[in-house]
Structure 1
């Protein structure tokens, strides 16, 4: 354990620590001698000691002892609790064991500094310390003051660091309050699922280490009701832990408004007919709020978070109205029983902003971009000493994101052994599907598919990451234990019980983005940290390859076809953008007068798939029949663009080759050269001329988006507006 930071760092450190402590918890009153004795009794026999050294250190403790902190191997380390009141010894012995269970490091210097302060304070210290039986009966600061008071009386504090001692006592007290707490778990103001096993959580919770602090709700009626409401939502699985945090944040906006206009209790207003005026004022305050950080700093709240805040408050009051009688009893607040039906519909339909599910135009990555990302990702695996980022786990995670199209949490929270046999699979070739990869389905309801077939390359990536995960466990002192997750958190995770953080991976990938500086065909930098783009790309590729919708739906674990169709819409939009990128021209190289947007709509609305040609499009109306055969290059209904350049060049080469072959055959058969007036030769010459004109025009205009006109229309010119610019 390190010293408490100084200066401004100390304030930030203290705020972060206090965010994990319940300021209203009567810590000094929680001690119970029977509970303390039970903590001692549940310990394994070898852990019931007041002193641990190289001869008595339990095996499970040895790997947890921080040798670097002590300046030597664990065999030179002692952890001493001698000279303390017996109940306090019981507590500290239990706390040592609990720290090991939580996967934390035992820091001998900090632990012994703390017991030194406690020993001195309970000896010749002041009366409060001498009478104390529990670590909780004084605050960390009071324990240190009592030890200093004993020193003034001549007591020897011994060697140690007061900063380490203070930090350790705080840390231990934070853990100790939970076994002493009696009553409903939800009545605590700070919910810490890592320390309090009573908090309901899913088996695999992406944000399971985060804290929910209700102390920010300063109105007691609102705070207690919010805790009750959200605890029921957790217990009934209506909300998961991640959703709970967003609901709590939404209620903070109501508290902020109450602080501004005055708090009249659960009914919000003194008279029911004033409720609509209160809501209008709240909506005005919400709309006028300016964002203080992030990319939207200085701007109003975006529509989606704005709507989410209103939805949270609406759901809260609807639930409280439905349970108003029980609320008056459970919360000991009779005013909840006076809620009216108006409180169940605080907002009218027109009050809420519309959801804006705007799809980014660059969600689907080009094949070349994906290939460059995969190639450049080796920087992640390269050691820092060699100029890389030194994060092999991040490299493996990125490769799985690209190859499988899973969500980021579905990859990072996979079990250590996620592979299942694929029934009937055979080792046909490297691209064959050889196994099933199981992942954690954390976003949608249970019962949805949670495994996909994978090929040998994905299996190889997983096997390589298993080696890396075992290396992590070995560095933590374990030689016979695998981590829970394939991607274990690299820090504060001695037992391998926590997954690699999404925030950490996003940060690493952001650094990779800066290092690689990959751009797409439009010159835009590709942010690799936006990992959901790999999912969009994988889904689009499957749909583009003709995979049936229901198969794609099952592969991506979607609940409904509408979720999968989101990617189909992206695919269609991508196709439209590609169509509009190039200027449309005709057989003589003239620009098409029809707007390309209109041309695209006409082709789509008329379902004119039969008008899609290998080298362009046919603009012949749907009810008319073409009688020109394959003479498109001499038809003014033919239109093409630069996307067909390879086919047009091939056609020109083949035509010129065919002409030379026919001329040679004609000369050999008739003993004379083919005349330029030959009907067949004139037709081929016209086609060659048209192809050259088209290709010449393509070279000039391939980077624009306007269309041009068709064959036999040399006198037609590109429309312009009054300024002379090409119309859009």
Structure 2
């Protein structure tokens, strides 16, 4: 907590040692920690020190160190014994040699403690410490110190400069938060009167339920700290609140400043392109709402924060900033190509996906576009299954990472009857965005297989815990209470994208870390299959159909076909009767636009076919039993042609035709494809068959080896 806080926000902690000791079990209260603590050997870091010796450390600091170590233990992380020991040695040396000892680890400046460590190490060893020692101390002064600050804070929770739900249970949160283990630092603002107003304003919105934690972390704190950095560029920052006549001009200046990529990020990295109107509006709205809040609560602000420039705020200020929020008139293009993953890219993704689950050091060989490629194993089978579930179900990344361990249940009898004997289950995902939206969908056997494999992986890697989530954080999670982090998920997929180099049919690189594209793709395909809007809305988990339509790629070709499929006209323009059979023939599955002699091509209109006449072995070729006689005759003729031609070759050349003969390879591929098509057609009579003749024997090759990553290399 900063010393320049108003008097009312300064917390006076009565007897902090007694408070901390009340939280510690007896075996954690001695000068030496280790013996007698259950599971100590398995829960400490890999350093050479197995005990935490704190002899000679002043009592309050010793109790604080023990409390921080105990907090790490309860949090499920490994206790950093080496880092705690370094701090204990430094504090004991400073007390013995009459150096200034910090009053508390909760209020000490980490830089001051680092300098004290350097003096101690030099006095004891005659040289400066290596970087490893600093790093171990920094780790201890991270989350455990934030938790200590929160525990010793008697004032409002928002008075702290850094907020983190993991360290401070007083922070209001919903049951599910997609950013539940991420914190924010509203106290990073350098302007004192703005900093305290930001913290009070955001805390009030959070406690009242007006905003949720993920919204505050995701945009509000960034927007308001960006406003603080802009104030630092002014000669007089208080002019923003004092001069009502210049309020509009200053708001326009801020909008111009925040639109520049170099100004949107405080660091030298992560520079994005010029901000979109939506992002600029978000920044202006955050400032306008802060001004309106301070204006509506003027008296309470004066009591809580004392006299400040906010006293000069007038009604004209928030109104001037609100007027600059522009209306977003530009609509997205009809084809949202950057939101859609075509079949060409999807086939490559599912072919490369097993490399994510393979152990590091193993190699996966795949054939892409006729070329063999080798991909190294990434050692993250959880990320592999998370991405596969996003592809198959169209769920958000947060909904997959936050879904419960027991997320499958039996469907209703009506659903089983509609499934016509196919295996289905009800999947409950981690709905984290819309509280009143549904959180279950029906899934098929493939999704169930992925989930069951993930449960087996958890049983092998977390054998002694009852996990809350289906996908678990690998480290600092001894009790299985933390879900797989979205930040780590994005980093893994970015690295995998750079290695796999997957491109779509237009040659554009597909970045797998943009996982929301799979949601757009799934909903677009369901819409093109003719799913009613209200059913699509229910599947997407949206509260209204408008948002569901936002996710559907708007294709002009598909719209025209859907319209023409409803009407037929004679040459004179008069309407004729239109039957369901006609509809199936012209627009099978509401997607087909290519007619073939023995079936239909389901390739979306956006894509071009580069297979020539190899439709029988194509994954988007579909046919039904109306072409049974034609396909049977084609198989008989192809078999006879192969026998006749190979016999003629042997008579002419005196040897059998080689198996790698180009003509023979193609004819045998056609023959095999025809047999698979006919077998599939006879197995399910009366139904359309898609992709049965392809080498993968399916419409899209999404089948992966779910157990390969668990097999040891011979």
Instruction: Give the TM-score taking structure 1 as reference length.
Output: 0.68
Partner of 2:33: 52
The unaligned stretches of length 5 or more in structure 1 are 1-20, 72-76, 474-478, 577-599, 613-617, 627-641, 659-728
Give per-residue Cα distances to partners, 1:274-300, cap 9 Å, x unaligned: 323333433444456667889996954
Q: Distance in 2 between matches of 1:574 and 1:318?
A: 48
Q: Distance in 2 between matches of 1:156 and 1:296?
A: 41
Q: Distance in 2 between matches of 1:322 and 1:103?
A: 44
Residue 65 (1) aligns with residue 39 (2): no
Give per-residue Cα distances to partners, 1:352-411, cap 9 Å, x unaligned: 262656352253434454344223211112222112222111111111111111111100
Give per-residue Cα distances to partners, 1:478-537, cap 9 Å, x unaligned: x42133321112234343332222233233333433444444333333333322222122
Q: Secondary structure at the match of 2:57?
A: coil
Partner of 1:242: 214
Q: Which one of the candidate residues 484, 489, 498 is aligned to 2:482? A: 498
Partner of 1:38: 19
Residue 481 (1) aligns with residue 465 (2): yes
* Aligned pairs for 1:105-144 within 5 A: 105-122=78-95, 124-126=96-98, 128-129=100-101, 134-135=104-105, 139=109
Q: Distance in 2 between matches of 1:250 and 1:292?
A: 9
Residue 458 (1) aligns with residue 447 (2): yes
Residue 442 (1) aligns with residue 392 (2): no
The answer on whether the counterparts of 1:408 and 1:532 sit within 8 Å (CA) in structure 2 is yes
Residue 575 (1) aligns with residue 558 (2): yes
Residue 255 (1) aligns with residue 244 (2): no
Q: Distance in 1 between matches of 2:234 and 2:483?
A: 44
Q: 1:535 to 1:46 in 2, by over 3 A?
A: same
Q: Distance in 2 between matches of 1:554 and 1:608?
A: 27
Q: Which one of the candidate residues 367, 380, 399 is aligned to 2:388? A: 399
Q: Secondary structure at the match of 2:24?
A: coil
The unaligned stretches of length 5 or more in structure 2 are 364-376, 578-591, 601-625, 631-714
The answer on whether the counterparts of 2:11 and 2:155 sit within 8 Å (CA) in structure 1 is no
Partner of 1:86: 59
Partner of 1:719: none
Q: Which one of the candidate residues 76, 79, 102 is aligned to 2:75? A: 102
Q: 1:133 to 1:57 in 2, by over 3 A?
A: farther
* Aligned pairs for 1:605-684 within 5 A: 608-609=564-565, 620=571, 622-623=573-574, 643-647=593-597
Partner of 2:194: 222
The answer on whether the counterparts of 1:31 and 1:134 sit within 8 Å (CA) in structure 2 is no
* Aligned pairs for 1:284-683 within 5 A: 284-286=256-258, 300-333=274-307, 335-347=309-321, 349=323, 352=326, 354=328, 356=330, 358=332, 360-367=336-343, 369-387=345-363, 388-424=377-413, 432-444=422-434, 446-473=435-462, 479-568=463-552, 570-573=553-556, 575=558, 608-609=564-565, 620=571, 622-623=573-574, 643-647=593-597
The answer on whether the counterparts of 2:429 and 2:439 sit within 8 Å (CA) in structure 1 is yes
Give per-residue Cα distances to partners, 1:701-728, cap 9 Å, x unaligned: xxxxxxxxxxxxxxxxxxxxxxxxxxxx
Q: Distance in 1 between matches of 2:136 and 2:515?
A: 43
The answer on whether the counterparts of 2:567 and 2:575 sit within 8 Å (CA) in structure 1 is no
Offset at 1:314?
A: 1.9
Larger Rg: 1
Partner of 2:697: none
Q: Distance in 2 between matches of 1:125 and 1:296?
A: 46
Offset at 1:248?
A: 1.9
Q: 1:575 to 1:513 in 2, by over 3 A?
A: farther
Q: Distance in 2 between matches of 1:80 and 1:384?
A: 38
The answer on whether the counterparts of 1:416 and 1:486 sit within 8 Å (CA) in structure 2 is yes
Offset at 1:205?
A: 1.9
Q: 1:432 to 1:62 in 2, by over 3 A?
A: farther
Give per-residue Cα distances to partners, 1:83-110, cap 9 Å, x unaligned: 3333333222222211112222113333
Give per-residue Cα distances to partners, 1:151-189, cap 9 Å, x unaligned: 9999999x9985367436634544422222221111222
The answer on whether the counterparts of 1:363 and 1:533 sit within 8 Å (CA) in structure 2 is yes
Q: 1:178 to 1:340 in 2, by over 3 A?
A: same
The answer on whether the counterparts of 1:114 and 1:168 sit within 8 Å (CA) in structure 2 is no
Q: Distance in 2 between matches of 1:326 and 1:536?
A: 46
The answer on whether the counterparts of 1:114 and 1:165 sit within 8 Å (CA) in structure 2 is no
Q: 1:527 to 1:547 in 2, by over 3 A?
A: same
The answer on whether the counterparts of 1:439 and 1:450 sit within 8 Å (CA) in structure 2 is yes
Q: Distance in 2 between matches of 1:514 and 1:344?
A: 46
The answer on whether the counterparts of 1:31 and 1:136 sit within 8 Å (CA) in structure 2 is no
Q: 1:314 to 1:643 in 2, by over 3 A?
A: same
Give per-residue Cα distances to partners, 1:679-713, cap 9 Å, x unaligned: xxxxxxxxxxxxxxxxxxxxxxxxxxxxxxxxxxx
Q: 1:337 to 1:46 in 2, by over 3 A?
A: same
The answer on whether the counterparts of 1:69 and 1:108 sit within 8 Å (CA) in structure 2 is yes
Q: Distance in 2 between matches of 1:344 and 1:148?
A: 50
Instruction: Give the TM-score taking structure 2 as reference length.
Output: 0.69
Give per-residue Cα distances to partners, 1:16-73, cap 9 Å, x unaligned: xxxxx969689xx9895722122112322333332234xx33214343112x3228xx
Q: 1:622 to 1:508 in 2, by over 3 A?
A: farther
Offset at 1:147?
A: 7.3
Q: Distance in 1 between matches of 2:501 and 2:133?
A: 48
Name the stretch that deviates more: 336-345 or 388-397. Answer: 336-345
The answer on whether the counterparts of 2:426 and 2:443 sit within 8 Å (CA) in structure 1 is yes
The answer on whether the counterparts of 1:85 and 1:133 sit within 8 Å (CA) in structure 2 is no
Q: Secondary structure at the match of 2:425?
A: strand
The answer on whether the counterparts of 2:287 and 2:321 sit within 8 Å (CA) in structure 1 is no
Q: 1:304 to 1:619 in 2, by over 3 A?
A: farther
The answer on whether the counterparts of 2:401 and 2:485 sit within 8 Å (CA) in structure 1 is yes
RMSD value, Cα: 4.0
Give per-residue Cα distances to partners, 1:550-593, cap 9 Å, x unaligned: 2221121101011122245x2544626xxxxxxxxxxxxxxxxx
Q: 1:620 to 1:529 in 2, by over 3 A?
A: farther
Q: 1:57 to 1:304 in 2, by over 3 A?
A: same
Name the stretch that deviates more: 236-245 or 515-524. Answer: 515-524
Q: Distance in 1 between matches of 2:110 and 2:262?
A: 40
The answer on whether the counterparts of 2:436 and 2:543 sit within 8 Å (CA) in structure 1 is no
Q: Distance in 2 between matches of 1:365 and 1:289?
A: 28
Q: Secondary structure at the match of 2:361?
A: helix
Offset at 1:227?
A: 0.9
Q: Secondary structure at the match of 1:69?
A: coil
The answer on whether the counterparts of 2:425 and 2:444 sit within 8 Å (CA) in structure 1 is yes
Offset at 1:433?
A: 4.7
